[in-house]
Amino acid sequence: MRDKSPAGNRPIVLLSLGHACVDVYQGAVAALVPYFVAERAYTYAAASGVVLAASLLSSLVQPLFGALTDRWALPWLLPLSTLTAGAGVALGGVTGSYPLTLAAIAVAGVGVAAYHPEAARAARVAARGGHAAMGWFSLGGNVGFALAPPLVWTVVATGGLAASPLLAVPAVLGAALCWAAVRSAGAAGRTPDGRTAVAGGVDDWASFLRLTGAVVCRSVVFVALSTFVSLYVRQRSGGGGGAGTAALFLLYLGGAVGTVAGGRLAERHGRLRVVRASYAVTVLAVAGVVLVPGPAIHLFVVLVSAGLYVPFSLHITLGQDYLPRRVGTASGVTLGLAVSAGGLAAPSVGALADATSLRTALLPLIAFPAVAGLLLRGLREPVAPPPELSSPTEDPVTPRPGA
CA–CA separation, 305 vs 294, rounded Å? Answer: 18
Angle at 364 between CA 361 and CA 365, to 5 degrees: 100
With cut-offs at 50, 70 and 90, classify the pLDDT of residue 249. confident
170-205: pLDDT as tens digits? 999 999 999 988 887 554 444 444 444 455 578 899
pLDDT at 229 over 70: yes
% of the chain with per-residue pLDDT over 70: 86
Cβ neighbour number for residue 400 with a 10 Å cutoff: 11
CA–CA separation, 7 vs 315, rounded Å? Answer: 21
The string of DSSP letters for 209-256 reads HHHHHHHHHHHHHHHHHHHHHHHHHHHHH--HHHHHHHHHHHHHHHHH
Where are the alpha helices (H) located in 72-127, listed in sequence order? Answer: 77-92, 98-127
pLDDT of residue 282: 96
Query: Do 67 and 184 touch, CB atoms closer than 8 A?
Result: no
86-133: pLDDT as tens digits? 999 999 989 878 999 999 999 999 998 888 888 888 887 777 766 677
pLDDT of residue 186: 54
With cut-offs at 50, 70 and 90, classify the pLDDT of residue 6. low
Go through the domains of the chain in sequence order and give each one's CATH number: 7-378 (1.20.1250.20)
pLDDT at 283 over 90: yes
pTM of the model: 0.70
